[in-house]
Amino acid sequence: MRSIKNPEERRNEILDVAEMFFTTKGYSKTTIKDILNEVGIAKGTFYYYFQSKEEVMDAVITRFVETGVKAAKVIASDPNLKAPEKIFRIIMAQTPEVGGKEKMIEELHQVDNAEMHQKSLVETILHLTPVLTEVIEQGISEGAFKTPYPKETVEFLLVGSQFLLDEGIFKWEPHDLMQKAIALVHIIETTLGAEPGSFAYILGRYDQSQEGK
């Protein structure tokens, strides 16, 4: 059946479906055919919009990261907020679960998805670091933080949190995960020279994910 749509809409349809499959099945285990069947288009149409399977992954990641970065920029440029509050809001804005349209299915532990994980982590670091660094520097001049390497510290913290706390890469027990989150909070506070306990709110996320079970 042939149905003609607004190109932008079609493109987003493909992106939506691809994102879903990449997230649930992993990139390499997702077939072009999977996407075609779900969207309801033919091969040719897919390759009319994208040059390769990998280009779709890049587009999915770009779209995904960009959302978080845009939100971060808005928060960062608010002149009425102190640095710690900005950090808090930026972190909260990174997960679409709450802020997004519909709640994402939690059961999808994105196993065996190294390609996507790495690329999205790289993109996140490349685009979110500048925004966060500026906030940290604001915090330093406000006296809330203290570190000689704000940018590099942000990078290290992003890598550490995204990699170590991500379900799907390691298979930590709930208890270990909580322990890591607690340690991470301590490391954040230590490396940023922040008040002990000032980042404890992060733990809220890992509490809840345990309660749900």
Partner DNA sequence: TTATTATAGACCGACCGTCGGTCTATAAAG
Partner DNA sequence: CTTTATAGACCGACGGTCGGTCTATAATAA
- Chain residues binding DNA by CB under 7 A are 1-5, 7, 10, 30-33, 40-45, 47-49, 51-54
Q: Shortest Cβ distance from residue 56 to its own copies (Å)?
A: 16
Among its own copies, DNA, none, the one that 10 touches (CB under a kind-dependent 5 to 8 A) is: DNA
Q: Which is nearer to DNA, 5 or 70 (CB)?
A: 5
Q: Shortest Cβ distance from residue 61 to DNA (Å)?
A: 16
Which parts of this chain interact with its own copies (CB under 8 A)?
A: 28, 114-115, 117-119, 121-122, 125-126, 148-149, 151-153, 155-156, 159-160, 163-164, 169-170, 179-180, 182-184, 186-187, 190-191
Q: Which residues of 36-68 are buried (b: 16+ CB within 10 A; e: fewer)?
A: beebebeeeebeebbeebeebbebbbeebbeeb
Q: Shortest Cβ distance from residue 41 to DNA (Å)?
A: 4
Q: Which of 96, 19, 95, 25 is nearest to 60 (CA)?
A: 19
